[in-house]
Structure 1
Amino acid sequence: MDGAEDARRSRAILGTALRAPNGPTRRSLQRSWSNRASAPNLGPGREGNAEMMAVTREKIVHALYEAAELEHCLMCAYLYAMFSLRDGEGEGLNAEEAEAVANWRRAILGISVGEMSHLIAVWNITAALGAAPRFGRDNLPLAPGVLPANLVVRLAPFSDAVIQHFVYLERPEGAAEHDDPSFESAEVFSRHAPGVRLTPTGYQYRSVGEFYEEIAADLRRLTAQIGEEAVFCGDPRLQLTQAESKLPGATPVTNLESALAAIEHIVVEGEGAPRHRENSHYERFRQIRAEMRSLKAKNPSFSAAHPSAENPVLRRPPEPQGHVWLHDRDAIATVDLANATYALMMRLLAAAYGLPAGSDEKLLYVHSAVGLMQAMTPLAERAARLPAGPSFPGINAGMSFTAQRNAAALPSGPSARRFFAERIQELNAAATALDRKDPRCVTASNVLDALRSKLLAAFDADAKAVQTSA
């Protein structure tokens, strides 16, 4: 399959996945979760310490900000591995391998869309508590201690080690899975902070599921302390709903029941717990691992992915070790545009959370963000096929997902619309300057041009309506 067809397919799958209903309903998900014991899982070294039981809105919001960063970083890591996958027999695969890798691409894309759904669920819970959701994150790889030491997140191409790492990250509690040695942290950190603290600190947890168990327990305790109406005081219109996205996470959170259902959606889809689900992220990564081992047994030289860089960067980092500094001109231009496209996508999603549900502008921003994802995909795939530069022979580039210094929502109104209009035109101009012989460049340019026309037309119509009313 050629690059143009591959890019078209990726865009179609992504758009369908983000807009179509997917997975069980919130009503079915909440049954077992809401009936669980309300006692929190305090983690090692925290049992029986009454002083550590204090729970505040600030503490829960702090934890939700970490949850948003965690889901966001996992999504980027999964996408990076997917972008590195080879495509068809034209890229060195035999027929059986090509079919398997195409299936893996679809599976990882589905998992990444699931992480986006989890991220929206976390944002909605945060908004329900009266706080502004967190859209930013640290740049990858995460520095030691940002998350508990056994959770390592970095950008790496698809490989045996990477898939084992993904299995480990999504494992249910009690699963006999170990992280790949190449991802194990050399240091062990503890977040234990003795005594009562007004300043919130991170939870100490061993798995993603355990982390969400603690958030759920704290929500129950705060509700018992001050009442459900006081806890869930945020304006429900300032959330994403099914009117903007058909992802399961885009369901309003208005009370404890809906908050716990949102958390169970994350845990059940991600880990396959508290009950086994064949379609969980954990099980899908396990299936990919088993198929990869089978293909390698038949062909020891089988390589499913291009040799993309680990942790690529566009400028020399303060600590170069563990990064690949890109020097190839085409790779730099491609990664730069992919990163900028991703950044505008996040800005639009942040802006959508500042607008009331049902508004045309909110819907425009969410749909434009989906479109930017579809433009980003062929650019990221192209980057994985370009050389990193002469300093790194045999290593390809890769999208670095550079984070914005401040990803908070822009003040809504004409100034935000002007900002977005300027930015989409800048992205469109950069896309037209890329190699027009590469189908992936053409696809990205066409998508960005269509988004430019759509956004500018909507902004122009809005400006004319304001002038008329004045």
Structure 2
Amino acid sequence: MTTPPSPTIATLKDLKAALQLAVGLELSTVPVYLTALYSIKEGANEDAQQTIRSVVMEEMLHMTLAANVLNALGEHPSVKPVDFLSHRNVKPVPEYKDTYESPVIAGIGKLALLPLSPAAVEGFVRIEHPLHGAAQVGDIVCPTDTFPTIGTFYEAINAALKSRAICPDSAFRSDSPQVRDREYYGGAGQVITVTNRDTAMAAIEKIVDEGEGLPEKRLNEPAKELPVTTKDVLNSGWKMYSHYARFRELQTGRRFRTGQLARETPAGSLLLVDYDAVHPAVHVQRNGSTTGGYEGAALNEFDLAYTQLVDDLYLAFSGGKKKVTYTMAGKVVTDLKDPLPLAVHGMYALKNKAVALMRTPKPGDPGHTLCPRFFYADAEQRTKLKDEIKQMRGAVQ
């Protein structure tokens, strides 16, 4: 079967929808990587932890960059469904049930929430490979108006940004809400403030260079030297390189030697991974085998915490403020807070909940523990989750 040419983005409306989906695309990989990261037992696999954590922080950076471009075009990032090309009511925020499949990018395949394991790392490499593991782009079967790879998706976005017929100069707002570099918490890479066409394209190119959009030609370039710039060096002196190269090191158990090409097998120093030093977590679907008791309540509480984190991130990307109520000196005080620091605190709280789940035995399944679901709940679902928590906790008192 011959894969049809990748679709093009021909209108400003579809460009904005594509950017909404780009924010969600970057978010979609975060649960995959965090599940593996949080499954590592305390004190174990420090090199693997550093690798995965560094990629997660850059995925958050990429979300921020896509959001800045969208804001510059006069539209805020939103969790509401969008129409894109012939697709209708596409949800930007990924829905993890058992697995998740991108509605607009065919080559990624199914993303699964797995503890750190050879299968999990193989999935990481497939996500970040320019062709998602295919030998050639023509091997990827694409439904109508679906892109074969993340790279071709971002190429279409960049082409639309470059076209004045699709995206005129008047579409850019110099006064739009922006997450600025001094506000970004993470230490990985640099946020680009987007005010015009050039900075918008630079932001997309930054996403592509560091992450999943890595062009196929980069496989024939040195894995550890490109596209690193002086701005991609952390305070520790560690130089960032592509996600694909970092995960290949994790997969093979060796670092790339200086000068080795990204398509080659890493042949440098050892990067040992102990897959036994990992909690044996198993994903539990909503309304699955674990629906009651403290275990079910803990799973629901994680979902609510994750939902709140996503909401705080999207509010921060949109330049909004969050209403926070607290007690000070015996008085109830309501204040407006910047949601980005709240989201950072939410990440730490989420980690604690995830680790607690992964230490909790899965009822009826000896030898396995619970796995966080990363379920994003809408308003109606949140009420249901809260009601279920009360029932579950009440049933075991």
Does the alignment reach a TM-score above 0.5?
yes
Aligned partners of 2:285 and 2:373 also within 8 Å: yes
Structure 2 SS opposite 1:305: coil
Q: Which of 298, 305, 308 is matched with 1:334 structurally?
A: 298
Q: Distance in 2 between matches of 1:406 and 1:69?
A: 19
Instruction: State the Cα deviation string for residues 33-73 of structure 1 (Å, max 9, x = none).
Output: xxxxxxxxxx94238xxxx7661111112212222222111
1:283 aligns with 2:245: yes
Structure 2 SS opposite 1:309: strand
1:204 aligns with 2:140: no
In structure 1, give the amino acid aligned to 2:249: Q
Q: Distance in 1 between matches of 2:190 and 2:295?
A: 35
Aligned partners of 2:194 and 2:200 also within 8 Å: yes
Name the one with the larger helix percent: 1
Aligned partners of 1:149 and 1:189 also within 8 Å: yes
Deviation at 1:250, TM superposition (A): 3.7
- Structure 2 stretches of 5 or more lacking a match? 80-91, 225-240, 255-265, 325-334, 381-385
Deviation at 1:246, TM superposition (A): 4.5
In structure 2, give the amino acid aligned to 1:350: Y
Q: Which of 252, 259, 262 is matched with 2:203 structurally?
A: 262
Deviation at 1:133, TM superposition (A): 0.7
Deviation at 1:365, TM superposition (A): 1.5
Deviation at 1:121, TM superposition (A): 1.0
Deviation at 1:114, TM superposition (A): 1.0
Deviation at 1:337, TM superposition (A): 2.6
Counterpart position of 1:190: 142
Instruction: State the Cα deviation string for residues 68-91 of structure 1 (Å, max 9, x = none).
Output: 222111011110111112234xxx
Aligned partners of 1:383 and 1:399 also within 8 Å: yes
Structure 1 SS opposite 2:20: helix
1:242 aligns with 2:185: no
Structure 1 SS opposite 2:173: coil
In structure 1, give the amino acid aligned to 2:103: V
Structure 2 SS opposite 1:397: strand
Q: Distance in 2 between matches of 1:365 and 1:153?
A: 29
- Structure 1 stretches of 5 or more lacking a match? 1-42, 89-97, 180-187, 193-201, 317-324, 408-425, 434-470
Written as runs of structure 1 = structure 2, the 5 A alignment for 1:87-236 is 87-88=42-43, 98=44, 101-135=45-79, 137-140=93-96, 141=98, 146-151=103-108, 152-172=110-130, 177=133, 190-192=142-144, 202-205=145-148, 207-221=149-163, 223-225=164-166, 227-228=168-169, 230-233=170-173, 235-236=175-176
Aligned partners of 2:116 and 2:278 also within 8 Å: yes
Q: Distance in 1 between matches of 2:41 and 2:336?
A: 37
- Closer/same/farther in 2, CA of residues 69 and 300 from structure 1, 3 Å limit: closer
Aligned partners of 2:160 and 2:167 also within 8 Å: no
Higher-Rg structure is 1
Percent identity, aligned pairs only, is 25
Structure 1 SS opposite 2:40: coil
Alignment: residue pair count: 319
In structure 2, give the amino acid aligned to 1:210: T
CA RMSD, Structure 1 to Structure 2 (Å): 3.8
Counterpart position of 2:238: none
In structure 2, give the amino acid aligned to 1:190: C
TM-score by length of 1: 0.59
Deviation at 1:210, TM superposition (A): 2.2
TM-score by length of 2: 0.69
